[in-house]
């Protein structure tokens, strides 16, 4: 076995788990799951059928990643954050054929106890604040906070809040990388 699984973890036959991944206490990985290399599933994580997690994805304790969720490489899912997969759930109506796809792009981070409504896209390296309720797409490098979540700033790839100057440029204090706000498209781009 090229990955580690704690003895209490349940891994259904057919699950594809990448080399170097670690699956901790009381996790359940469903049969049609694809986990990339070097993923970490913290304690009490559920991963549903059809979920795809890229390389280097970290899923913290008490997170359920339901069918319809796709996480690209290097995504961080904070403790007890929540994904949904149906817009209008009812216990007495079967809606498994109505699951919406939620895409979490490369390097995005979702804070503890945040809720992500189904059918949206979270852009590359965006950061979702703890406790935020995200009901709309998030741009690349966007900082989303609040209930409902609104964009309240920009962050670098390394997660530092960026302060745009009068020309719309900002520099990451850790890496020195420069970013430029594209006024026409209303997005932030890495130079």
Query: Any idea which fold 4-156 has?
Result: UDP N-Acetylglucosamine Acyltransferase; domain 1 (2.160.10)
Sign of CA dihedral 41, 10, 131, 36: positive
| pLDDT greater than 80 at residue 114 | yes
Q: How confident is the model at residue 91 (pLDDT cuts 50, 70, 90)?
A: very high
Query: What's the CA gap between 183 and 74, in Å, rounded?
Result: 28
CB atoms within 10 A of CB 155: 21
Distances in Å between the Cα of 138 and the Cα atoms of 56, 105, 123 are: 21, 10, 5
What local confidence, expressed as pLDDT, does residue 185 receive?
87
**SS3 state at 81:** coil
**pLDDT band (50, 70, 90) for residue 191:** confident
* Residue 21: partners with Cβ closer than 8 Å, 6 or more residues away: 3, 4, 35, 36, 37, 38, 39, 40, 41
- Is the separation of the CB atoms in 54 and 35 below 8 Å? no
Strand partners, 120: none
What's the pLDDT at 75?
Answer: 98
Whole-number average pLDDT of the chain:
96
Task: Tell me what pLDDT residue 28 has.
Answer: 98
Digit-coded pLDDT (tens) for 133-175: 999 999 999 999 999 999 999 999 999 999 999 999 999 999 9
Antiparallel, parallel or unpaired: β 76-77 and 58-59: parallel
Report CA torsion sign: 64, 23, 21, 107. Answer: positive
Q: What is the mean pLDDT of residues 1-16?
A: 96
């Amino acid at each position: 076995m090229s990955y580690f699984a704690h003895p209490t973890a349940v891994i259904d036959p057919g699950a594809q788990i990448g080399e170097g991944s670690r699956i901790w206490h009381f996790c359940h990985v469903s049969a049609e799951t694809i986990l990339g290399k070097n993923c970490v599933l913290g304690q009490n994580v559920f991963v549903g059928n059809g979920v795809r997690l890229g390389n280097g994805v970290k899923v913290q304790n008490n997170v359920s990643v339901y069918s319809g969720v796709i996480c690209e490489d290097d995504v961080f899912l904070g403790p007890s954050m929540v994904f949904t997969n149906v817009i209008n759930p009812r216990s007495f109506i079967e809606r498994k054929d109505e699951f919406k796809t939620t895409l979490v792009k490369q390097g995005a981070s979702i804070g503890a106890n945040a809720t992500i409504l189904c059918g949206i896209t979270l852009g590359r390296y965006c950061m979702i604040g703890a406790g935020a309720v995200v009901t709309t797409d998030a741009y690349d490098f966007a900082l989303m906070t609040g209930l409902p979540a609104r964009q309240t700033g920009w962050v670098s790839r390394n997660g530092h809040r960026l302060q745009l100057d009068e020309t719309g440029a900002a520099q990451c204090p850790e890496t020195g990388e420069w970013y430029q706000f594209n006024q026409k498209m209303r997005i932030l781009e890495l130079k």
